[in-house]
Amino acid sequence: MQSDPVIITCPGCGLTLPFWGLDLPEKCNATGECLDRYFEMTCRTLVWGDSGFIHQHAVDAYAAQHSSGRMPPITTAFALMGLYLALEREYTGRQVQFAHVKIGKKKSDWPRLAPRNTPVS
């Protein structure tokens, strides 16, 4: 008789996955299992080579969902700016990437933004 797999829930996004015993990420509010799925997804979005560069949206969405106090403040700020530009201004991922580069050239003390306590359902 086989036992049911142990399930783990990501504190950042709420994704439930079988527990594989992966190490917790140091800088983001995620399980190792969720981060592993993220790496798989970003590898796929990079090789697509689409002109809109959807990869940037994937990176920004994950960073925003998995923000933590251990993350560099610029990471969360850029993720939220990127999502704003994509959703409200209809920027492509490539346009968001260029905006990140332009904004990143200016020295700034980025605020540490507090993450949500519960994932969005």
User: Taking a C-beta distance cutoff of 8 angstroms, is the pair 52, 92 a contact?
Assistant: yes
Evaluate if residue 40 carries a pLDDT over 90: yes
Predicted TM-score (pTM) of the model is 0.87
- Quote the percentage of the chain above a pLDDT of 70: 93
Compute the distance between CA of residue 101 and CA of residue 119 in angstroms, rounded to an integer: 29
Helix, coil or strand: residue 9: strand
Residue 42 is assigned to a structural domain of this protein:
yes
Say what the pLDDT of residue 25 is: 92
Residue 66 is assigned to a structural domain of this protein:
yes
Compute the distance between CA of residue 117 and CA of residue 101 in angstroms, rounded to an integer: 30
pLDDT digits (tens, 9 = 90+) for 82-103: 999 999 999 999 999 999 999 9
User: Taking a C-beta distance cutoff of 8 angstroms, is the pair 15, 9 a contact?
Assistant: yes
Residue 109 is assigned to a structural domain of this protein:
no
Instruction: Please give the tally of structural domains in the chain.
Output: 1
Compute the distance between CA of residue 22 and CA of residue 35 in angstroms, rounded to an integer: 9
Containing structural domain, residue 49: 7-104
